[in-house]
């Protein structure tokens, strides 16, 4: 049986050493829902993921533009991911900011969880955010 001091020392050691990502196990990705469909987004393509903050609507935006929101002290334009994908708009309970595009956030319905993509694995629902934004006329 371990003593309290041993448990505390193990706990402290776990945070003193840098986290190591096992590259042989695959690339981390998020499983999300947008417009009723499931998609997979590589975690490396995102810089922030979180609950959707208050979004202030702006007049004159396109169908995908939801408005402005404050994220980490900056104002960002929030776009509807379902609308960009040509799907019905949903609840937009979550947002993600693409790593390649500052000042922009994509709102989606649900965050289902995290998974690991094995090397070479490309599920049918894998979402390429850079290509999606380029198709929508949004420069990255």
- What pLDDT does 68 receive? 94
User: HSE of 46 in the Cβ direction (CA atoms, 13 Å)?
Assistant: 21
- What pLDDT does 106 receive? 93
What are the residue ranges spanned by the domains of the chain? Answer: 27-135
Second CATH level (architecture) for the domain 27-135: Beta Barrel (2.40)
- What pLDDT does 93 receive? 92
- What pLDDT does 20 receive? 54
User: HSE of 138 in the Cβ direction (CA atoms, 13 Å)?
Assistant: 22
pLDDT along the chain (140 residues), means of 10: 83 70 72 92 92 91 88 91 87 90 90 86 79 68
- What pLDDT does 78 receive? 93
- What pLDDT does 24 receive? 56
- What pLDDT does 17 receive? 64
Is the alpha carbon torsion for 72, 73, 79, 80 positive or negative? positive
């Amino acid at each position: 049986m371990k003593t309290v001091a041993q448990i505390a020392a193990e706990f402290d050691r776990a945070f003193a050493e840098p986290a190591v990502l096992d590259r042989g196990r695959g690339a981390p990705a998020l499983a999300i829902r947008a417009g009723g469909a499931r998609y997979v987004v590589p975690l490396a393509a995102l810089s922030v993921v979180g609950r959707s903050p208050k979004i202030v609507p702006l007049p004159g935006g396109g169908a995908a533009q939801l408005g402005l929101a404050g994220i980490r002290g900056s104002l960002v334009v929030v776009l509807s991911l379902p609308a960009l994908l040509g799907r019905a708009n949903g609840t937009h309970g979550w947002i993600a900011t693409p790593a390649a595009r500052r000042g922009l956030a994509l709102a989606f319905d649900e965050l289902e969880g995290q998974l690991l993509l094995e090397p070479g694995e490309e599920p049918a629902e894998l979402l390429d955010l850079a290509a999606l934004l380029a198709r929508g006329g949004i420069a990255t």
